[in-house]
Structure formats: C-alpha cells, structure tokens
Structure 1
Amino acid sequence: MAIGWYLAVSVIIFCIGLSGVLVRRNPLVILLCLELMLNAANLALIAFSRMHGNGDGQIFAIIVMVVAACEVTVGLGLIVAIYRRKLPIDVDELKALNG
C-alpha cells in the first residue's frame, strides 16, 4: 500500500478528534477525542517510518503513547476530583477546582 492511504486515514482520524474537541463539552469525550488525535499522529509516524525504512518513527510513536497514558491519568484524576466536589461537569462552566 502507498503511504498516501495511511496519511489519508490519519488525517481523517485527526479531523474527527479535532471536531470532537471543539464541539463537545463533556470532559470524558474531550479526553477520548484527544486520544484519537494522538493515535492519528502515531499512524502518520509509523507510516513515515515504514516509508524511510528505519525505526525512528516507531520510537516516537512509543513516546507519544507514553505521553497519552500520562495525559489520561492526569485528566481522569481531575475529572474524579470535579465529580467529588459536585462542581458542574460542563467544560464551559468549569473555571477552576477552587481547592
């Protein structure tokens, strides 16, 4: 398969994630859409790595997966803290944790 197909799928997945981040107001959905965007970047990195015949893109993809795992951990921790304080869940209404 040509690299163009991989990049086309990557762009489509990234655009779906970007539209979800911009449109949705639920923090869990926003985290899921951010994960979609990071996975699209991983797909592009792997495609370029395969095109050039080296493993650099795969190493960067692993680093992106580690960053994504850290982002989800911190994000879910914040969401649990918000639920425990009974603050509004809507991202537009939430200004700070006021701790």
Structure 2
Amino acid sequence: MLVNLSGLKSVGLEHFLIIGAILFSLGIYAVVTRKNAIMVLMGIELILNSANINFIAFSKYSTADLSGHLAAIFVIILAAAEAAIAIAIVLNIYKNFLTINIDEIDNLKR
C-alpha cells in the first residue's frame, strides 16, 4: 500500500529558525536563572548549538557553498575547547571553595 505524501508541507527555513530561537531562548534562560556552574555551561552549549542550526539552515537555503557548514564545524570545535577549559575551571573552583554555586563564590583569593 502506497501512501501519498504530496499533501505534506516541506520543512523550510522558518522551521529551522524557530527551532534555533527556541534553543537560544532556553540557553539564555539557563544561563540567567541557574546558580550551578555546570548548568550555566549547559546553557552556553545550547546557545552555541542554536547558532549551529542557523549557520547550517542559512547555508542550505541561501547559497550552494559550504561556508555555513564550515562555520558550524568551527563552532563545534570551539564548543569542545570551551567545555574542556570550563570543566577544568569548575573543578579548580570546587577544590578551593567546596561548591560550584556561582552565588557562593565571592572572592578569587582566599
């Protein structure tokens, strides 16, 4: 039995932009409202992933070149480096202050 798919809408640029905006909004919400440093880092990762979705979508729907894909790969590499360095900083903060809550870390020198 064959199913007629001609009545379905195709996925367009606006769908990708809506998903990117939702991810960006959730990332901003996580960064602003969370006190835990790990949750703030997860919010930053959501923001970077929303930028990747927008890079890929604009690259697909605007031109035939790979500039958006290359920018997305650069952002993925940047996010991996940021995560490694940020986790090292969070572990060092936990070793010194015995907490990872951002509000409880009030001075850099003990």
Common topology (TM > 0.5): yes
Give SS of 2:102's match: coil
In the TM superposition, residue 13 of structure 1 has moved relative to its aligned partner by 0.5
State how many pairs are aligned: 99
1:93 maps to 104
Larger RCO (CA under 8 A, 6+ residues apart): 1
The one of 70, 80, 101 equivalent to 1:59 is 70
Unaligned stretches of 5+ residues in structure 2: 1-10
Runs of 4+ in structure 1 off by over 3 angstroms are none
Query: How far off its partner does 1:96 sit?
Result: 4.3
Unaligned runs of 5+ in 1: none
**Which shows bigger deviation, 87-96 or 77-86?**
87-96
CA radius of gyration, larger in:
2
Q: Percent identity of the aligned residues?
A: 32
> Aligned-pair RMSD on alpha carbons?
1.4
Q: Give SS of 2:104's match.
A: coil
Q: TM-score, normalised by structure 1?
A: 0.92
Q: Deviation of residue 94 (structure 1)? A: 1.4
